[in-house]
Chain A
Amino acid sequence: MSPAGTTRAKKAPAPQKTARTAAKKTTTMKKTKSARGPTTRVPAAGPDTAHRMELLEDMLRIRRFEERCVELYSAAKIRGFVHLYIGEEAVAVGVNEALTPEDAVVSTYREHGHALARGITAEAVMAEMYGRTTGCSGGRGGSMHLFDASRRFYGGNAIVAGGLPLAAGLALADHMRGQTHVTCCFFGDGAFAEGEFHETANLAALWKLPLLLICENNLYAMGTALERHEAQTDLAMRATSYGMVAWAVDGMDVEAVERAARQAVEGIRAGTGPHFLELRTYRFRAHSMYDPDRYREKGEIEQWKSRDPISLLTDRMRENRELSDEDVARIEQRITAEVDHAVEAAEQAPEEPVGHLLHHVTSSSARAVG
């Protein structure tokens, strides 16, 4: 996806804006080498510009797709639980840059961003949210259960931490067959309170599994703030206690995320076992469409919005004279067309006949007709 990306870790990003908000919410905000990087500037244009342009487009696609989801939800076209990723786009996009198509991904119920970054089309995701047969899960999963076996995208797990053991097993299978694939598992800070996280962290480290653990620390487990659900809020430090390499990263800076993910994946492929990244991020919207968001201060939300991952990148690119208004307009236009097309296709897509209700319960029923 990014030909220039392999050298990126050595190149210089713009100096990182303050991550003070994150530091306030957690006990320690270690600015690691990977999160901050050296401060030398690179000249504009070249392959790096093209790559940053891709990162921008990938993040914007997620943002605009989800904004459309909000409209469609209000219009009752989409139902069920819908968990928006807006604000966290840098994590999915940055991490995906470090993965190959042969790697596996296990995700959460807030996974539109992960799915789109992985290359599942807006059309397939939108159709799934419409519950149509053309959806990436045939309409059986909905927003929380997006799957694509051909892309090794294993969902869409709506049990907090429930995807972690599964990811360990995918990694185990690759490990046992001598393959160098990596399994990447996304989960939130809330997963730290679940036994399945700790069981899996121990198992993966014990067996040196090729597992990339991506903790999206958005500071809230639904409505419960990190310091109200964890006695020790330094999550990366806790992960190291399992004997794995772990560090915290500015999850609002897509380039920092990519650098960290590449570094972690490199370590995993070299056979040094699971790596853990704590991505300090924030969701700008409520937990789900049902959430009145009474538990967060407006000021806190605004503070984080000032570090919007998309603005962070566009500001940097403009500063480097890598991005013009025309560039942005062109990308926006392309994405609008893509999302428009996804909605139109979903509107037209067929619903599954009720006679198919019992399909896919077992493999034999999956093949059953009528």
Chain B
Amino acid sequence: MGGGRTHEEKTTYREAMREALREALRSDDRVFLMGEDVGRYGGCFGVSLGLLEEFGPERVRDTPLSESAFVGAGIGAALAGMRPIVEIMTVNFSLLALDQILNNAATLLHMSGGQLPVPLVIRMTTGAGRQLAAQHSHSLEGWYAHIPGIRVLAPATLEDARHMLAPALADPDPVLIFEHGSLYNVSGELRPPSEAMDLDHAAIRRAGTDISLITYGGSLPKALAAADELAAEGIRAEVIDLRALRPLDDAAITASVARTHRAVVIDEAWRTGSLAAEVSARIAEGSFYELDAPVERVCSAEVPIPYARRLEQAALPQTADIVAAAHRAVD
């Protein structure tokens, strides 16, 4: 499973994802990858570089810039027994395919009375931080997490980048995988998969007893950095990586809050109507009497993400914001 790598060797999130794609294409001839520039270009973030040469243009399929058509084609191919992996360049572009994702992928099984499962994986980048301005930087995965009938994943670690794809492909229903753009260059030692490598459970990335920092995706490194700073002050923060945004692992959230009695939810999406709002509501519903302080939220400012670096950074959740929110809850 480790792709033959030695444990000393470092890999990036991008390479881990590529290795997952390679393994999927090798192990099942029903699997194929399609999307804009996934082939000859190598993927707009370089994830699929080299796969065209290895698997050919039928299975690593460049598409026209027709998000709705190629996502819908992925759904149709899945209905016909294939296991397509569709790549959309960014979550902002996925809005052009929203009809297919919501009205077909998420709905066909139900509308057909259980006759038509859609075993489709859709991957896309999400998030800000690279000065790509207001049409390439948003975090809309929470919108998708609103929809019954699809599974929404946010791999935040090398291990999840490497090992979430196989179970996603094995799922008979549509799975959306959100890859935060700031993670592709994250480098480290890829550990072999642990027993927690499923699609149902959140992961405790750092154990603690004083406060729960609940997050996912691109905000995980910031939450871990905040936990380090808090530790230096003697506050032991527990960091929960949700991993799956739908269905949410309620038990993990409840258990963590039962240990710490305080929670900060960190979500790069806008605060209003966000996934952070959903998590906060569930804590209020399920853990109200465990709480020693109001739930805190650290989200993006309610503004289209600006280009200028200083403004962009000001719009996004930062480690300092997380530390400050934790202080409000603990003090």
Question: Which residues of A are interface residues toward B (Cβ below 8 A)?
Answer: 104, 106, 135-141, 145, 147-149, 154-157, 159, 162, 164-174, 176, 183, 195-196, 199-200, 202-203, 206, 359-363, 366
User: In whole angstroms, how far apart are the Cα atoms of A361 and B246 in the complex?
Assistant: 13
Among residues of A, the one whose C-beta sits closest to the C-beta of B148 is: A361
**Closest chain B CB from A100 CB (angstroms):** 15
**Closest chain B CB from A9 CB (angstroms):** 29
Report which residue of B71, B109, B110, B172 has the largest number of chain A beta carbons within 10 angstroms of its beta carbon.
B110
Among residues of B, the one whose C-beta sits closest to the C-beta of A166 is: B76
Interchain residue pairs with CB less than 8 A apart (9): A136-B113, A138-B112, A156-B111, A165-B73, A166-B75, A172-B76, A196-B99, A203-B63, A359-B114
- Given contacts A104-B80, A173-B77, A362-B149, is CB(A135)–CB(B70) below 8 Å? no
User: In whole angstroms, how far apart are the Cα atoms of A166 and B100 in the complex?
Assistant: 8
B258 touches A (CB below 8 Å): no
User: In whole angstroms, how far apart are the Cα atoms of A157 and B112 in the complex?
Assistant: 11
User: In whole angstroms, how far apart are the Cα atoms of A316 and B171 in the complex?
Assistant: 55
B72 touches A (CB below 8 Å): yes
- State whether B69 touches A366 (Cβ < 8 A): no
Among residues of B, the one whose C-beta sits closest to the C-beta of A141 is: B111
Given contacts A157-B103, A162-B104, A360-B113, 16 further A-B contacts (CB under 8 A): A136-B113, A140-B113, A147-B113, A155-B111, A155-B112, A159-B99, A162-B103, A166-B79, A169-B73, A169-B76, A170-B76, A173-B81, A199-B68, A203-B66, A359-B114, A360-B114
**Closest chain A CB from B40 CB (angstroms):** 15
B78 touches A (CB below 8 Å): yes
10 shortest interchain CB distances as A-B pairs: A169-B76, A165-B72, A138-B113, A173-B80, A199-B69, A169-B73, A199-B66, A147-B112, A363-B172, A149-B115
**Closest chain B CB from A102 CB (angstroms):** 11
- Which residues does chain A contribute within 8 Å of B77, judged by CB atoms? 169-170, 172-173, 176
- Which residues does chain A contribute within 8 Å of B78, judged by CB atoms? 169
**CB within 8 A of B109: which of A173, A183, A206, A363?**
A363
- Which residues does chain A contribute within 8 Å of B66, judged by CB atoms? 199-200, 202-203
Among residues of A, the one whose C-beta sits closest to the C-beta of B115 is: A149
Among residues of B, the one whose C-beta sits closest to the C-beta of A197 is: B69
Report which residue of A165, A183, A196, A363 has the largest number of chain B beta carbons within 10 angstroms of its beta carbon.
A165
User: In whole angstroms, how far apart are the Cα atoms of A162 and B106 in the complex?
Assistant: 14
B291 touches A (CB below 8 Å): no
User: In whole angstroms, how far apart are the Cα atoms of A169 and B116 in the complex?
Assistant: 14
B173 touches A (CB below 8 Å): yes
- State whether A170 touches B80 (Cβ < 8 A): yes
Among residues of B, the one whose C-beta sits closest to the C-beta of A362 is: B173
Report which residue of B76, B81, B104, B110 has the largest number of chain A beta carbons within 10 angstroms of its beta carbon.
B76
B32 touches A (CB below 8 Å): yes
Among residues of A, the one whose C-beta sits closest to the C-beta of B58 is: A176
- State whether B72 touches A147 (Cβ < 8 A): no
- Given contacts A155-B108, A172-B76, A361-B148, is CB(A366)–CB(B114) below 8 Å? yes
**Closest chain A CB from B176 CB (angstroms):** 13
- Which residues does chain A contribute within 8 Å of B80, judged by CB atoms? 104, 169-170, 173-174
**CB within 8 A of B112: which of A140, A170, A172, A200?**
A140
- State whether B111 touches A203 (Cβ < 8 A): no
User: In whole angstroms, how far apart are the Cα atoms of A344 and B49 in the complex?
Assistant: 61
**Closest chain B CB from A200 CB (angstroms):** 5
- State whether A173 touches B76 (Cβ < 8 A): yes
User: In whole angstroms, how far apart are the Cα atoms of A104 and B99 in the complex?
Assistant: 22
**Closest chain B CB from A119 CB (angstroms):** 16
- Given contacts A162-B103, A165-B76, A363-B172, is CB(A196)–CB(B114) below 8 Å? no
**CB within 8 A of B113: which of A137, A164, A169?**
A137
